[in-house]
Structure 1
């Protein structure tokens, strides 16, 4: 009979979906008793632990649902390597207030300058603010749209894409799109216009986007919507990845002992 209250309490806490209460209540009760804290402060600490853990689980769920190829924060980005990038603006955008205002971001620059890293970092920051985020490359997204159309589930996918508070479309311009693919991608942008924020990274300047969409009319309409409320991040410079590889090669060469000419 002595175990009955604990069993009932465990049952009720599970039913109320309070796993941290269940895990911590006994240990925390002993700590608070040792510190001479009253029941109100004990409950306050327990509630705070539950909220902190719930926030952590929520962020983890948002990150998983975003389908990031990797989790990268802005803290690990080398801003000094890309002088053209406005660091102050990026850090301001990391507050994610632009998402509330339904503004867009376009990161433009040559290959290897860290555009994807910036997109991932801003996406992670939005997840940490409790916002729903989706991530995909332009080519993979178009493939999904075409597949969904063929399988009669395009409307469901379009609703899902329109529902994200922030949709990140990476690597626009790396692969030319078919006419149908370009039209489907345009529809995604159009459905999100002034309803949600879209972050696009591209290796092409705007005047070359026609080579991707194959139509000046479609490209013009897309840019009109995408740039109406937009923050543009210019990321031109030497390839960050190439410079990193060169530095690693130099360090490896310096660490290798020179050949001894006296040896055969």
Structure 2
């Protein structure tokens, strides 16, 4: 069909043609909004270029939103949490919400007693990273270790570790709430080692680094595992009244006092 033929389209014919073209080109937002945007453009005496820009920007914005929603869904967070609903000082929010630490592949550790709200910032910061375009995965430490053990039994360990390696941020919750045997600890160590200085890991634990011996009972392995997430990390210590942020380049065995 030539351009001359399209000029003769009726209003109804134009609507049908736009609808069909949007389906073919996979432009769902323009398809659903073009009529309202056309009416607004007419009222505001918008130029053709201005109207076209409005249509395309609406599609781009919605596509970005849908991508964010897919990344958040893929992260498998157990519930929705937002930084806006979190009692955090502004400087700390600004520091972490930029997700610069994720871009640089740096670790984040949230340390505090049970019930002091570590999961909230872990999920909220993971959500923020997903919204900024990073691939994120949330998992309980026990679930991760069980998955690794099962994968090793079924000779799928390489594939499973590779899947976790591909994400930009691995959020590991409730570390320190269980005791791991040597095999489970070694598998977790392998995942952390694969990510070191390449991709970020965020860990929430109810034990300070010095207390990780309760989880990793082998002294050498405990030292090696603490060494991974704690080096050059952002450390958040949660309390009942406040959340404080610090940075450290400390190696294993040195606990940050905030």
TM-score class, shorter-chain normalisation, is: 0.7 to 0.9
Equivalence for 2:120: 117
Equivalence for 1:40: 49
Q: CA RMSD in A?
A: 2.1
Q: How many residues of Structure 1 are paired with residues of Structure 2 in the alignment?
A: 234
Q: CA deviation at 1:183?
A: 0.9
Query: 1:155/1:12 Cα in 2 relative to 1: closer, same or farther (>3 Å)?
Result: farther
| CA distance, structure 1, for counterparts of residue 84 and residue 106 of structure 2 | 23
| CA distance, structure 2, for counterparts of residue 139 and residue 25 of structure 1 | 49
Q: Select which of 62, 66, 70 maps to 2:71.
A: 62
Q: CA deviation at 1:153?
A: 2.2
In structure 1, runs of 5+ residues without a counterpart are 80-85, 240-264
SS in 2 for 1:209: helix
Q: Is the 8 A contact 1:110 1:237 kept in 2?
A: no
| CA distance, structure 2, for counterparts of residue 115 and residue 53 of structure 1 | 32
| CA distance, structure 1, for counterparts of residue 24 and residue 218 of structure 2 | 57
1:217 maps to 2:220: yes
Equivalence for 1:27: 36
Equivalence for 2:107: 104
Q: Select which of 153, 162, 174 maps to 1:171.
A: 174
TM-score (norm 1): 0.82
| CA distance, structure 2, for counterparts of residue 188 and residue 56 of structure 1 | 31
Q: Is the 8 A contact 1:108 1:236 kept in 2?
A: no
Q: CA deviation at 1:17?
A: 2.0
Q: Is the 8 A contact 1:59 1:128 kept in 2?
A: yes
Q: CA deviation at 1:4?
A: 6.0
| CA distance, structure 1, for counterparts of residue 152 and residue 187 of structure 2 | 9
SS in 2 for 1:168: strand
